Amino acid sequence: MQFGEAKSVDTLSLERRDIVVLPETSLPAPVEAFPGQNFDNFDRGLLPYHARRDAAAGNICFSPLTLSLYMLQNAFLVIAPQLNGVILTENCEIVEEPSCFRQRELTCPGMAFPTFPRHAAFSHAFAGFDRSTSNHYHWLLYAISKSCVARPFLPRATPILLPDAEACLEPHRPVLPRGYHHETLRVSGLLPHVTPVSQGIYPVRRLYFMWHTPKMPELYLRVPQVQAEFDRFTTPRAAFLPKRFFISRAQSADQRISAQDQTVIDIVLAAHEIATVSLDDMDVSTQIALFRGAELIIAPHGAGLANLAFARPGTAVLELNRQLDGQPHLRNCFYLLSAMRGLRYAMIDLSDAPLTIFQLQEALRRVSQR
């Protein structure tokens, strides 16, 4: 197969049904972590979200949003390294939005589409995952969540397609615990409705997927139904888990915390009797129970904070953030998730200066105030 001159189409040209329409919305701005905190990098990170700060009201204002269920006839769905979740039209043109996380070098103009097995066609199916599905954030907040939110709007008995986790998902570091994907499907209630698919190209006569306008992927988290679905996840209580904790990325190649910053963190954690936890070896139910029972969560920016989707309103969250991958702004997805969950959110920007004991202690005091 080859792309039709590697052209792409956007969702505005496709058949759709609008399922959630949100007006302009105001959400609480982050708590000021310490006197005179500089929010420039944070505020620049609002621009891709079509959002702006209303300093007088102490809010962040988001423009209207529409979530739509799309149906594409005679489509192709790709399950392949670096291309998971790519959707093609019958003319082999890329549907841009749900394919946005793909490795773009593989879809440059004039390039032949890599050769993969072509499987038997589905008459109809739903796909809500993307190329980065091996990442906890993308699996939980997109693949699982979109499958849950879409189900009531799909024709009866529509298969939900997800890559077979053992065979198709590219290794991600740190590696997710064994059985993680199956357990997530179980606690979400999706297990009976999912059809695992192996590597290859799947023709689908009627392929359903969801996207929204504005098109920034993280804006999906604004949809209230997303939060309602996570509240329905089942898990036992675990009384032995700490209620105030710092999430360590010690097992990650990218810790996002300098040795100097970690020294400051260790001093403050000890002084305030705050536990250190690692999510890398926790099963899904334990992670859900940890965040559901939390009173205070401190963490560097990372996929583990996707579990804020399980935190209760009023939980205090302090994110240690910094500019990543050369971007001139902060990634504010966990601010948005926190605001939608009713959490008390503060952040410290470590992009330009090291963390100090005063900053961290003052941030903990302020974010913990009721």
Q: Could you read off the pLDDT of 45-85 as tens digits, one per residue?
A: 999 999 999 988 899 999 999 999 999 999 999 998 888 99
Rg over alpha carbons for the chain, rounded to the nearest Å, is: 21
pTM (2 d.p.) = 0.94
In terms of Cα–Cα distance, which of 322, 298, 292 is closest to 248? 298
In terms of Cα–Cα distance, which of 274, 214, 203 is closest to 66? 214
Query: What is the distance between the alpha carbons of residues 232 and 179, in angstroms, rounded to a whole number?
Result: 21
In three state form, how does the secondary structure of 207-240 look? EEEEEEECCCHHHHHHCHHHHHHHHCCCCCCCCC
Q: Which two tokens stand for residue 269?
A: 């954690």
Q: At residue 108, does pLDDT exceed 90?
A: no
Query: What is the distance between the alpha carbons of residues 313 and 319, in angstroms, rounded to a whole number?
Result: 17
Average pLDDT of the segment spanning 5-27: 86
Average pLDDT of the segment spanning 270-279: 96
Query: What is the distance between the alpha carbons of residues 247 and 147, in angstroms, rounded to a whole number?
Result: 28
Query: What is the distance between the alpha carbons of residues 141 and 128, in angstroms, rounded to a whole number?
Result: 10
- Helix, strand, or coil (residue 41): helix
More reliable by pLDDT, 316 or 84:
316
In terms of Cα–Cα distance, which of 226, 210, 207 is closest to 66? 210
Is there a contact between 22 and 72 (Cβ–Cβ < 8 Å)?
no
**What would the pLDDT profile of 176-203 be if each residue is shown by its tens digit?**
777 889 999 999 999 999 999 999 999 9
- At residue 320, φ and ψ (nearest 5 deg) are -95, 100
Query: What is the distance between the alpha carbons of residues 7 and 100, in angstroms, rounded to a whole number?
Result: 14
| Other CB atoms within 10 A of residue 351 CB | 14
Q: Please give the pLDDT value at position 4.
A: 46
Residue 109's pLDDT band, with cuts at 50, 70 and 90, is low
Q: At residue 235, does pLDDT exceed 50?
A: yes
The helix (H) or strand (E) run that includes residue 341 is helix 333-341
